[in-house]
Amino acid sequence: MKQNVGIFDRTIRILIAAILAILYFTGVVTGTTGTVFLILAAILLLTGILRVCGLYALVGINTCKTSNEDT
């Protein structure tokens, strides 16, 4: 798949994933909400690392800068 997550978006995703994981593993959020936080953290981390977001592809969003700097 073509990369569609830019550097700023990628940084935000990884930061939010870290915060959600910390909240879960420190026991601040437990139960069903904790499980949802952990799943969201995994998805955000994965999309941040791979720089590919399926939802962005469906909607047609691309936050990557184009590399058409030939001039």
Residue pair 51/3 in contact (Cβ under 8 Å)? The answer is yes
Residue type at 7 in one-letter notation: I
Work out the burial of residue 52: count CB atoms within 10 Å of its CB; fewer than 13 is exposed, 13-18 middle, 19 or more buried: middle
* pLDDT per residue of the chain (71 residues) written in tens, 0 to 9: 789 999 999 999 999 999 999 999 999 999 999 999 999 999 999 999 999 999 998 999 999 886 544 44
pLDDT at residue 67, as a whole number = 58
Residue type at 1 in one-letter notation: M
Tokens at 31, concatenated: 């139960």
Domain ranges of the chain: 7-59
